[in-house]
Structure 1
Amino acid sequence: MGLISVILITLLVKGQSEEQACKLIGQTGYLEFSKDGDLIIGGIFSLNSSRAIDNYGYHAYPALFCRRLNPRELLFARAVIFTVEEINTNSALLDGVTLGYRLYNGCGTESLVRAALEAVTEGESCRKRVQALIGHSSSGVIYFLFYLQISHLSTCACLSDKRIYPTFFRTVPSDQFQISALVQLMKHFGWQWVGIIHSAEVYASDGVAEFIKQGKAEGICVEYVIYYKRTDTKIEHKVTEQLKASTSSVVLLYMSLTYTRELFKNVDGNKLPRKQWIGSEAWISQRDLASLGSKNVLHGAMGFALPQSIIPGLSEFLLSLKLSDEPESVMIKAFWESFFDCSFSSSNTTKLCSGDEDLRTISSAYTNTELRSVRNVYTAVYSIAHALNALLQLWSYCKCNFNLREFIYIYMYIYFQSVNPPKSVCRDACPAGSRKAVNKQAPVCCFDCFKCPEGGISNETGRMQCFLCTAEFWPNEKKDKCIPKPTEFLSFTEIMGTVLTAFCCFGVFLSILIFIIFLVHKETPIVRANNSELSFLLLLSLKLCFLCSLTFIGRPSDWSCMLRHTTFGITFVLCISCVLGKTIVVLMAFRATLPGSNVMKWFGPTQQRLSVLAFTLIQVVICILWLTINPPFPNRNVQSFKDKVVLECALGSSIGFWAVLGYIGLLALLCFILAFLARKLPDSFNEAKFITFSMVIFCAVWIAFIPAYVSSPGKFTVAVEIFAILASTFGLLTCIFVPKCYVIIFKPEQNSKKHIKMMETQHFVILTIALTNETFQMYTFDNCCN
């Protein structure tokens, strides 16, 4: 109360130092209730809720006529009277000093101003004037006066600016608090898309502006704003059409009680879709609005109201009002006639009022003694009384220690009419797995939703951005979580792995079968021809080639990765070395049949074994260097595929890998050239043409392997390599050994010494003719040249 006391001191000192120098002109007489006292409290209440103006054709001052009675304002005025009397009986407060009151009626803007001026100018001395004003109930225009005023219902946040309204106080919370509560209420229920209807009042327009500001910060968008004017004859139709066309399910109705009653009476609720109404504290606690008329406007309403409290003795005081308490009051008579539907003058249409009717028998805003805002009036009067008491103590003891106190504001949550909280959004929140994008052509609540891009997820609704999964994770189908990527490798259990394993086993079986056939018939000419030792070694190496393909199947490990290419490289070099040895034997055998040739002593069995060993050791050295410097290793390949991890064997040193393949290719090319040169040489069992064909298959397979290996994805890279190994191995096995097995099994008569001697005789004749032709050609060439 300290600040109020300081203002009171300033105003009283100013009043005592200045003489009455002004006189109110124009219409007066707004005083309705008064009582003398040592100190006077003023009050302004709109006992009438409408007015009319008569300007007399500009020949006299305009006259204001108040019309419709307002029982609630009468309740406020009587509450002031009750509180003043209660204070006067309290010896602990204003001891020896009595309070009086002067209560004025202001039914419109003009009346409010004139009533306020009448209140502060009436009285010949400072002590006869009102020391403070209580009122008004609206955030009107009377607060420009430099006079202490305490309002019980003026909630406009604009009035909190002390630079403009230094002497204004209130016992009701500012709309700033109510707006914050309403915004949080809508946020709680997820209502982001709302409509607003507000009245043509400072209270409503400022409140709506603040709501839009705070709501925007919380992501609440406004679909429409309807400015409700009483003078607009088609406003009810506009409201109906807007509510029917709107997509929002929630409507904020920010109006004073008078405007709200008028709107609900005039709008036909039967034509409206069901809406959730959000009310301001001015009307939300009025239960009678839910059943106002039969038009069913309020399907459901909620909002915040002032706390309800009971003031001891007030109810009895209000309901015990008799005409004898205010015999001179024309206003009380008017209210009495309105309450009891009677008249104090003779009338044929209404009954005669006796003045003794009981107010407990009627239902009116005046008899609603539980009205929440009555407590504010009661508190306002006590605030002034305490300030005056502090002022008197100051004068008595010269103490200047004042405490500035503020009220603690509390709201109560109110809802009536059962309705489930609806959904009210311009668009549902973007689900998990998508992102929100602002639509520049629409309010921020009317956004667009887009699926997360490939590899991205959003695990919450309404996210502005998606984020990418890490390298070894991939979004699930809903794109709301990252799950580990499935691993892929060529396994024995899948169809491809099983088929390749079957071919590998078949190749091993075929190699063993041919080995057994050759072993059983090892003494026959066809086996002994072209060095049987190399044939058996070749069969062994081919079997190892088939087996080495198995190392490529299964989950890669350190050992399997190192064994894959090294065993493949060494066994294939051993195989090609044997084939190369057999090819050289064919060539040497032909040279050995020429007269005076002893070339076979230079490439006998020992030299053949050493050549195979030497060629193979070179590959062994290459593999050892590869494994020593930078060996192959198991790798989780997350780059080749976006949705899976490929388990593979990284080459380590690519130079080592291509050196192994290059060396095999070099030997195969050399073998092919030699075999091609020896393909038509006469011999009983000349293998050169079969070796040539096998080398053609071998080279074709591995030439095709290179682009296929480079371009094949994932496990298919391994499958291509296994296929190349099997295809080239089957080519060598089939071309070199199958024809011999055919002769051994199905043409045994050709695998005899007699047949061989006959064939050697034929070959000798052919060789002699060939040599004769060669000699003749040389002789002709020599004679020609000489």
Structure 2
Amino acid sequence: MVPKFYQHALALAFAVHEINLDLQILPNITLGFHICDSYYEAVMTYRSTLDLLFKSQRFFPNYNCDKPDSCHWRTWCCHLFSYGKTFSFLQDSTELNATHYSSFYSMVPKESYQNIGIIRLFQYFGWNWVGIFAVDNNSGEHFLQSLEPLLSENGICSAFIKRLPYIARLDDTFIDINEIYSYLISDINTFILYGESLTIAALRVILTAGGLENKNFFFKKVWILTAQLEFILTGLSRGWDLQIFHGAIAFAIHSEDIPNFREFLRTTNPHWNKGDKFIQVFWEQAFDCFFPESWEQTEVMGQCTGNEKLEDIFKPLFEMSMTGHSYSVYNAVHSVARALHFHLRPIYDASSISYDRYGPGVYGLDGLHPLLQSISFNNSVGERVSFEHRMETGGKFDIINLETLPNNSFQRRKVGKVDPNAPQGEQFTIDESMLVWHPGFKQVPPFSLCNERCRPGCRKKKKEDQPFCCYDCILCPDGEISNSTVLQIFIKHKDTPIVKANNRNLSYILLISLLLCFLSPFLFLGQPEEVRCLLRQPTFGILFSVAVSCVLAKTMIVSLAFLATKPGSWMNKWAGRRLPYSIAVSSCLIQASICIAWLATSPPFPDVDMHSAHEEIILQCNEGSVTMFYCVLSYMGFLALASFIVAFLVRKLPDRFNEAKFITFSMLAFCSVWISFVPAYLSATGKAMVAVEIFSILTSGASLLGCIFFPKCYIIVLRPGLNNRKHLLRQF
């Protein structure tokens, strides 16, 4: 017997006790129960189930009973619960329906909700490299088949998958201890452990067999534990150290603290119920004592007194707070009792029938199934319980953080939840501030990546024969730097003088618009479709208008800043903070209005070109109105020309404070590209027209990025000593 699981039986007894005391449920009827041990063996599970049905030694299901009068009741019991009252394991209802177990009622959420919660947890912390330990049985196989596709779809890779035996022994020669040891000392920081409670015990056996139990500090890992796992220590395993699991994050079946349950446990003792055949075995294992053959014997060392307190047992052996499985048992008993109450209410309301030893089955309990399927009530803590979702109750999981203590006990913290029925955005929640981590981690939360993220100035290159999460970071070719890298540099050094002096908010907007400009060519690639044709030219026009408007605003700020310094200048009233944003917004709105008018009057559409090439039909986007297309280009050219003129006029202002020279060169390059674009575009046909436009977009965007920002990045990154206010104003 596993002492920790005795709480499940006590939860059943407590629920029955509550119902028998409640005059509103099954008045004048006293509920009882009978429990058989499954011994963790399928054969013994079925044998124990038959023990519930027959008292004789010969088993003839549904035919011969020990007493003819009791056969009806026991047959109904077998039919109702089909070798089990409720499912206490996680299983998808689709699989259950396929096997036509119509009389099963699941008290636990579907495993698929737990798998989604695991994915959300990895996404929250940015982890994409995980090792998986799964129990080697059908349940473990089903878990892997469900989880692995989800991992791949969400950009997460499994570093390894290792199957663990259901029950491990120290003399088991089939366990590859060296392989498991190599995983524990690897740089894989996150492990998923799936199985049942004996799976943790099996893992501890493996560590003990390999002499690894004293190296817990070096095995700093984040363990993600699934809902069926419980920390159980009994017998020889009492001395096992649980430090390796410090900081583990566990998914647990949702539970609440039921009123009076702790008090019920405090009153439990070996003499409380003579019909309980388990309590003395539990008591001896939990308190490491023994009961004498008779109470008249003299007390000896190690003898159980019966006065021991359950709250004194440390948690790996027994917990005083109601666990998720016990909470499910509690709700299951109340569900059956209320269904039985509603089923029998017409009978005891209409007559004074009393129920004898044959049980209520003789009065037609076949109608109990519809009542169970439609049952809905609030339990003692106010939570709603119902089977309306395909004979399942709820879908909540609690997210628990485990803190191991020096006395080999542990503390559970509820740090989050998974609730598929919650509003969008609240289905997965976690409070990171409440988490504790393994003390071996130097950085928390720890990284769990195949390799470190590439630094600015590097790009990713996939590793051959490795999962897609693994890549090499190689330096960008000479003269190349990514737009996102520039943005990161400016954000990181946002409080430095050179970033502030060039209006950092406008710089951020300009960099983001340029990033989107570099992405806009993807709208020009691929087979022409209606949405793609509608969006590609207006998107390109508006994005570049945003970029050039920001350049114009930056140029105007430089000009007005120095003109306003002259005494009595009328420019003082214009040199405010709102001016650059007004220029940028108004300029963009004009371009947006042109694009809206274009889409409203003559929008682009998919078309075919049957004249450009012989014996070929080319799919392309017809611009709808060529005039509107050139209006978009013309307005963008107007903004660029205005920026060029203003920048050229103020190019001789103090050099260390002024970026007008850089803007002048950038606008000169920008205008040159688009002036050259017009004849090249008019002379091209078919796919060449698309290629010319994409080339112009990338080239003009690169000219803006290179001329305006690269000189600043050079000072920020390579010459940080020049990035100070004194240097900027030295020549002013």
Task: Compute the TM-score of the two structures, normalised by the length of structure 2.
Answer: 0.48
| TM norm structure 1 | 0.45
Task: Please say which structure displays the higher CA radius of gyration.
Answer: 1
| Higher-RCO chain (CA-CA 8 Å, sequence separation at least 6) | 2
